[in-house]
Amino acid sequence: MLRNFLIVGLGGAVGSMARYGISAVAGKYITHPYPFATFLINITGCFIIGILFGFGQKNNLLPGDWWLILATGFCGGFTTFSSFALENIYLFRSNQGMLAIVYTTFSVLIGLLLCRAGLALAK
């Protein structure tokens, strides 16, 4: 059990660092109120986990340890739906409700589509 926690923690640390790096770089170049960095991270994470799940189902090409480090760890640390929720609250509070609705709609729809594309790609 401790081994699994360490595996997930390692993947989560790498995913969190990747998320921070993308957000830091995007923050330097994008000043628009739409949270592009979080949007990109969320849809990319959905695509990655779709690929991983697809490979996992295809003849067990992703053993348990790899699932733990990549899907549970990395994707769990990389995707930012908690940040997503908070950013939507801030958008609504700053009277940018329409932007919050667009952000939510695009994140969910494109995330679902890319997760499906990842599954299809893995087949």
- Residue 52, both tokens: 């991983």
- Residue 91, both tokens: 């958008």
pLDDT tens over the chain, length 123 residues: 999 999 999 999 999 999 999 999 999 999 899 999 999 999 999 999 999 988 887 777 788 899 899 999 999 999 988 889 989 999 999 999 999 999 999 999 999 999 999 999 998
pTM, full prediction: 0.81
The pLDDT assigned to 64 comes to 81
Give CA–CA dist 34/99, Å, rounded: 7
Give CA–CA dist 118/19, Å, rounded: 20
Contacts of 120 by beta carbon, 8 Å cutoff, 6+ apart: 54
The pLDDT assigned to 87 comes to 93
Give CA–CA dist 14/92, Å, rounded: 31
Q: Which residues of 85-109 are buried (b: 16+ CB within 10 A; e: fewer)?
A: eebbeebeeeebeebbeebeeebee
Of 75, 87, 9, nearest in space to 42 by CA: 75
The pLDDT assigned to 61 comes to 79
